[in-house]
Structure 1
Amino acid sequence: MRLLDWLHTNGQSLAGCGQGDIDRWLAEGTSYHYCARNFVLWCVRRGHAHDITIPIYVRENLRSEFIEADERWTLARRLLHDDTLDTMDRVAGLLLLLYAQPLARIATLTLAQLTQRITDRGVQLRLGSKPLVLPPPLDALVLDLVDRPQGRAVVGRTMELTSLLPGGAPGRPISARQLMRRVNRLGIQARLSRNTALIDLAAQLPATVLSDLLNLHIGTAAAWNDIAGNTRPGYAAEVSRRRTDT
């Protein structure tokens, strides 16, 4: 294992190394070094290492292709207000365009991830570690999906794992491939639209907030902060993490 060899050469052990050592190893090497991610996760789970991680590697060229911002908002407005479109397509497209959710994740959303606040009946969707409050009319569209015959009339019941976007087979969610075909018919290019949403969100929010709300790895969120030019929140998040590690 190249990581172990590198640590040994630098007079360090896996048990004693910190995140700073891992960051330096990644910075000095190629993208191949990110392949050690699963090994590091396994070592941390087994107690052979502590408080270290390797983020998921995303090729830079995948972060450099976008649609025009005006096109994104035109598509979003249509999905928000065009009642002739299928509700499932509208919800899936809006989660992609507004919150940069990949179709594979949207396809597996369950009713257990939805709640309604008692105070104002606001609809919350848990994508990451913290719930996201859905704005109108997206909240009403989501509730329309819940009220469909395939779903349930009550949200927030963790015992039920019914799909928010059911597929053709009973009890099975829609497939990501089928969802891709549906949004493509609406003129939505999934990857480019997600990139555009991510860079817009990353320009406004620090990495920690992106990670908590959108279920992004903190390293991935920080990388998008850098691309968007939002370096101060990313730096603050990094300082906060390092303080926690020490």
Structure 2
Amino acid sequence: MTAGAFLRAKQHTTVAIQFLHWLGQRGRQLGECTQHDVDAWFGAGTTTRQHANNFLYWAIRQRLVRHLTVPVPTNRTSPLTSEQEHLDAVRTLLLHDSLPAAHRAIGLMLVLFGQPLAQIVKLRTDQLRDGPDGLQVTFGSDWVNFPEPAATVIRVHLAARPGLSTAANPTSQLLFPGFMPGRPMHIYSVSNRLRTLGIRPLATRSRSWLQMVREAPPSVLADRLGHQSQDSDALRGACRHRLPRLRGPEASLQTADPQRITVATSHPYAPSHLGNGRRTRFYGRCRR
């Protein structure tokens, strides 16, 4: 057992003991614990109280308690870029000619699709296609479109992928090949390069998802963009307190047709339902 695993187990045990002591002060034994008790425990005190959830899950499986729902902890202080920062990131990635095309392409997939860097660098060339409908990429169950001029950046990268000149990678099918045989670009080198440009990967990804859930339900986005269902549930919880309640015509965005969820609709500042004129003005702002 590693030191980290030992410390986590110790903390979970300590918090479980604290929970039982707290429950005893309320005049209850474990088998008498009610949903009100659970809600009171998680609703007050420090954030370390959430570590009692493993003990409660175990108690439920052992049928020591019944009819209890353990709250799912949400991180309400997760990093999130402002809308202006997000717009600046798009502008930088589209116009930064001295930045390698590979890093610009990875950054655009982060900004436009909210994809984690670890998944982007593992993409293969057969996950891209260029045809009459434009340049498309698939992360999950469907193909989604790149808008121009972002598509042009991707095509520039495809025409001259780095790492193919070495004897180890002459026929690599990785979209972002590294310098080791069969290995993609290192996630940390990409992350560090983006940070030097003022682009914070996790905060940028959170902003992308926050904007996309204004267009379609998280479960639909998770399916089309290749995320696990538990990620979708976590996203829904994280965004619930940030999203305003929609009324009138805008409420239809919550039940948007999945077929409309292309990069144009998912992009927070150039949704396709606003028409080509608005998208043109958006990219005009990026070029300033």
| TM-score interval (norm. to shorter) | 0.5 to 0.7
**Contact 2:178 2:184 survives alignment (8 Å):** yes
**Percent same amino acid among aligned pairs?**
24
Residue 136 in structure 1 maps to residue 148 in structure 2: yes
Aligned length: 185
Residue 183 (structure 1) aligned with residue 194 (structure 2): yes
Answer yes or no: is the 8 Å Cα contact 1:110–1:162 preserved in 2.
yes
Name the SS for the 2:214 alignment partner: helix
Partner of 1:15: none
Q: 1:219 aligns with which of 233, 239, 244?
A: 233
- Superimposed CA distance per residue, residues 105-134 of structure 1 (whole angstroms, 9 cap, x where no aligned partner): 1111111211223x34x1111112111111
Give the ranges of 4+ consecutive aligned residues of structure 1 lying more than 6 Å apart after TM superposition.
Answer: 230-237
The residue type equivalent to 2:202 in the other structure is R
Q: The residue matched to 1:60 in structure 2 has which SS?
A: coil
Which is higher, the Rg of structure 1 or of structure 2? 2
List per-residue Cα deviations over 1:146-192 (Å, max 9, x = no partner).
2225589xxxxxxx871111112233201211211111121111111
After superposition, the C-alpha distances for 1:9-58 in whole angstroms (9 at most, x for unaligned) are: 65xxxxxxxxxxxxx86xx2155xxxxxxxxxxxxxxxxxxxxxxxxx7x
Q: Report SS of the residue matched to 2:118.
A: helix
Note closer, same or farther for the CA distance 1:227–1:162 as it changes in structure 2 (3 Å cut): farther
Q: Which residue is equivalent to 1:164?
A: 175
Match of 1:198 among 209, 214, 227: 209
8 Å CA contact 2:124–2:174 kept in 1: the answer is: yes
Give the drift of 1:3.
4.6
Q: Is the 8 A contact 1:210 1:221 kept in 2?
A: no
Of 69, 75, 78, which aligns to 2:92?
78
- Are residues 115 and 29 of structure 1, via their aligned partners in 2, closer, same or farther at CA, if it must alter by over 3 Å? same
Structure 1 stretch 207-216 or stretch 228-237: which is displaced more?
228-237
Partner of 1:60: 75
Give the conservation status (yes or no) of the 8 Å contact 2:172–2:182. Answer: no
1:236 CA drift (Å): 6.8
The offset of 1:199, in angstroms, is: 0.9
Q: TM-score, normalised by structure 2?
A: 0.55
Contact 1:180 1:190 in 2 (8 A): yes
Answer with 221-230 or 176-185: which moved more: 221-230
Which secondary structure does the structure 2 equivalent of 1:109 belong to? coil
